[in-house]
Amino acid sequence: MRSWLARRGKVPGWFAATLAADTVTFAHAQPQASGKWSIIDYGSRPPGELRLEGHQCTTVLHPGEYQFLLVEAPDVPEAELKSAIRWKVKDLVDYRIEDATIDTLDIPPAAPGASRARPMFAVSARNDLLQGRIRELEQARVPLSVIDIRETAQRNVAALFETADRGLAFIHFGADAGLLTINFRGELYLARRLEVEAAELAKGAADEDGALERVALEIQRTLDHFDRQFRHVAVAKLMLGPTPQPTRLAESLRARFDLAVEEADLREVLDFAEAPEAEAQWRLFHHFGAALRQDNGVAR
């Protein structure tokens, strides 16, 4: 995502924060000279305990607060792209397009110089919602530089687990829904929301078998579709994001798919001042991802 705001900070790295019930939940990441990331702080605190002067801050919208759309890239000059995309998505949103902020995210072509008739992502959110979120966080003394979304935050985490020149599928189940993404060379190629919550996958859940079957079916459909659309990308691995409780998802998927299925432990790819257990990795997953921005001033 490009920046919807324009502030810059002096403190290295990014501070990703969300606000709920007068509590700021956050993660602060900084890049190391080695190329690895350090999570120097994370958790939940009252706003008055935070001192964020000079920080670059981002927040992650909830899925119901924006639309993530796959569209065909218009064949127009770069300067006219936003306007052309706005015209393309005006009938896909349930509010006046004049009341929306639109951003775009490229899907790299199969080869340099390929036709512009290719897919790309468009993100749309209501202006009043974005302005309200900015005000809420500023009142909590969180000076926003960027507003982000789950799809790009998850891409950032998934990139840490990629195998060179191979695609990576990554699935994370939150308290409200699941998100399946496919990365290749650090870029997001596909994102699909799943109507399955983490609680449904937990051991002992009444509908566990039904949820597992639904997840496997959606993954299979997604991988089949991806293979047809992006034949130049071979998906070599499926990573399962952290969960708050143990599940049988990994063993269920290993029995169904030929590709490698692995459970992600963020402690293997990030340096933590205090390593989080599985529940904290799950709860703060997209905060960690949003803080892993690959720039230090110009949003990605």
Domains and CATH numbers, the chain: 63-130 (3.30.420.380), 162-263 (3.30.420.40)
pLDDT value, residue 10 = 81
Residues 168 and 184: their CA atoms lie apart, in Å, by: 6
Rounded to 5°, the CA angle 180-183-187 comes to: 125
Tokens 């299979």 correspond to 220
Residues 246 and 10: their CA atoms lie apart, in Å, by: 40
pLDDT per residue over 241-264, tens digit each?
999 999 999 999 999 999 999 999
Residue 287 burial by Cβ neighbours in a 10 Å radius (0-12, 13-18, 19+): buried
Verdict on whether the full-model pTM lies above 0.95: no
Tokens 């700021």 correspond to 24
pLDDT value, residue 1 = 47
- Mean pLDDT check: name the lowest of 7-16, 21-30, 45-54: 7-16
Residue 168 has pLDDT above 70, yes or no: yes
Which of 93, 117, 88, 128 has its CA nearest to residue 104?
88
Joined together, the tokens standing for residue 17 give 């924060």
Which of 280, 298, 300 has its CA nearest to residue 39?
280
pLDDT value, residue 77 = 87
Residue 217 has pLDDT above 50, yes or no: yes
For 40-46, the CB contacts below 8 A with 24+ separation are: 40/13, 40/273, 41/273, 42/272, 42/276, 42/280, 42/284, 42/287, 42/288, 43/284, 46/22
pLDDT value, residue 202 = 82
pLDDT value, residue 257 = 94
Sign of the alpha-carbon torsion through 85, 88, 92, 96:
positive
pLDDT value, residue 280 = 96
